[in-house]
Amino acid sequence: MPKPEFLKATIPHFSDPRVGVVQSRWGHLNEDYSLITRMQAFGLDAHFSIEQVGRSAGGHFINFNGTAGIWRKGTIVDAGGWSADTLTEDLDLSYRAQQRGWRFVYLEGLVSPAELPVTVPAVKSQQYRWTKGAAECARKNLGNVWRASNLSLATKLYASFHLLNSSIFVATLLTALLSVPMLALRLGWGWLTFFQLSLIIMGMFYWTAFRRRGGTFWEFVITFPTFLAIMLGLSLHNAVAVIEGYLGRKTPFVRTPKFNVNRRGERWQSNAYRVRRVPPLTWVEWGLVLYFLGGIGLGLATRNYSALAFHMVLVLGFGFIAYWSVRHSLVKP
Between CA 89 and CA 68 the distance in angstroms is: 15
- The percentage of residues in the chain with a pLDDT greater than 70, rounded to a whole number, is 93
Q: Is 220:204 a contact under the CB 8 Å cutoff?
A: no
Report CA torsion sign: 127, 130, 131, 132.
positive
Residue 166 lies in a domain: yes
Q: Is 94:63 a contact under the CB 8 Å cutoff?
A: yes
Residue 39 lies in a domain: yes
pLDDT at 125 over 80: yes
How many of the other CB atoms lie within 10 Å of CB of 248?
11
List CB contacts of 190: < 8 A, sequence separation 6 or more.
Answer: none
Residue 273 confidence (pLDDT)? 62
- Tens-place pLDDT, residues 189-213: 666 666 677 888 999 999 999 998 8
Residue 187 lies in a domain: yes
- 332: pLDDT confidence band, cut at 50, 70 and 90? low
Residue 246 lies in a domain: yes
- Tens-place pLDDT, residues 58-94: 999 999 999 999 999 999 999 999 999 999 999 999 9
Q: Which of 248, 175, 157, 165 is nearest to 202 (CA)?
A: 165
Q: Could you list the beta-strand ranges (E) of 29-73.
A: 69-71
Task: Work out the burial of residue 299: count CB atoms within 10 Å of its CB; fewer than 13 is exposed, 13-18 middle, 19 or more buried.
Answer: buried
Q: Which of 206, 212, 251, 213 is nearest to 231 (CA)?
A: 206
How many of the other CB atoms lie within 10 Å of CB of 294?
14
Structural domains counted in the chain: 1
Residue 73 lies in a domain: yes
Across all residues in the chain, what is the average pLDDT? Answer: 92
**Structural domain of 168:** 6-330
Task: Work out the burial of residue 212: count CB atoms within 10 Å of its CB; fewer than 13 is exposed, 13-18 middle, 19 or more buried.
Answer: middle
Residue 279 confidence (pLDDT)? 85
Amino acid at 203: G
Q: Which of 165, 180, 199 is nearest to 51 (CA)?
A: 165
Between CA 163 and CA 141 the distance in angstroms is: 9
Residue 264 lies in a domain: yes
Residue 28 lies in a domain: yes
Angle at the Cα of 187 from the Cα atoms of 181 and 189, rounded to 5 degrees: 100
- Tens-place pLDDT, residues 20-72: 999 999 999 999 999 999 999 999 999 999 999 999 999 999 999 999 999 99
- Tens-place pLDDT, residues 270-317: 665 666 778 899 999 999 999 999 999 999 999 988 889 999 999 999
Residue 1 lies in a domain: no
